[in-house]
Amino acid sequence: MSSNATPKTLLEAVQYFSDEAVCIEYLAGKRWPDGVAVCPTCGKKGAGYMPKHKRWQCSARHPKRQFSIKVGTIMEDSPIGLDKWLPVLWLIANCRNGISSWEIHRDLGVTQKTAWFMLQRARLAMQDDLTGGMLEGEVEVDETFIGGKVRNMHKDRKVKAQKVSQKGDKSIVLGILERASEKKPKRVRATVVPDRKKNTMQAEVGAIVGDGATVYSDEFASAWRMDDKYTHGIVNHLEKYVDGQVHTNGMENFWSLLKRGIGGTYVTVEPFHLFRYVDEQAFRFNNRKHADGDVVTDSERFGRLCNQILGRRLTYAELIGKEDERPEAF
């Protein structure tokens, strides 16, 4: 493969990114499309590249004037080489049902703990930065429950779980999908919510859906509907699932993909990490097609993910919720 070619398959990607210089050149092109390197410390343009050290040096004199391509990205302070980082990003961007840390551990020769940390940092880059604006037009709103099935629980566990609700102590995920139009493909935004109360639902929907939209949802929407902002179309699932254009089948499609990944690939997801897995699936869902309807290739989806790794940082202490327990430096 020539140096100017872009890998189109996983095999080509592994071969292409086996050279660290190629990895640096690829990421530098994504980070500085105009070819002018910017110092992440002072913001000055025109940092010079030092091939021998594989890093840049700012022309201004200040601490941390030298920096690598990882600085300021999800890979900052990671001892793992780019020849492993980029295949991991390729896999999580393109595996429809996700990729487990154990598979990364076996395939790339890193520990399972390291693989898990890499994947969680990649999921941070997959978060929707809301640059696409509010959802509008025809919008579907639905919720789903993520957690173990009550019928499969031990009797003692079942009694404890059902003290919360009949469905058990499951996590609630709210999904909002904008149906496809001539100008753009369908896109979804999903978030973990604490409950389905009126105030919670209205705040979440109002922050994402623009005024004047037509909102399609199930019978639960009667508890939080906002007639002053939206035109509501409600279908009662106890009677039917589709009433003309009134249905939530688009969101049901997304829930199917999400639960297939969680139940089939990840098996067990802690509630306080669930939002990361939701972000992962939403990224792949939103990057399936171009505005003209053409399918997004694996290479393009990988490139989009690489565009989002800048300015996002996740330390291991933050990830496991023990940042405050770290000892002070002496």
* Bridge partners, 220 (sequence order): none
pLDDT on residue 288: 94
Residue type at 311 in one-letter notation:
G
Q: What's the rounded Cα separation, in Å, for the pair 330 and 324?
A: 16
**All domains of the chain in start order, with CATH:** 138-269 (3.30.420)
Q: What letter represents residue 173's amino acid?
A: V
Tokens, residue 159? 């009694």
Tokens 């709210």 -> residue: 174
Would the pLDDT of 325 be above 70? no
Residue 1 pLDDT greater than 70, yes or no: no
Please give the Cα distance from 158 to 4 (Å, whole number).
Answer: 58
pLDDT in tens, 169-220: 789 999 999 999 887 899 999 999 999 999 999 999 999 999 999 999 999 9
First to last CA, the chain: 51
Average pLDDT of every residue of the chain: 90
Q: pLDDT tens digit string along 271-320?
A: 999 999 999 999 999 999 988 889 999 999 999 999 999 999 999 999 99
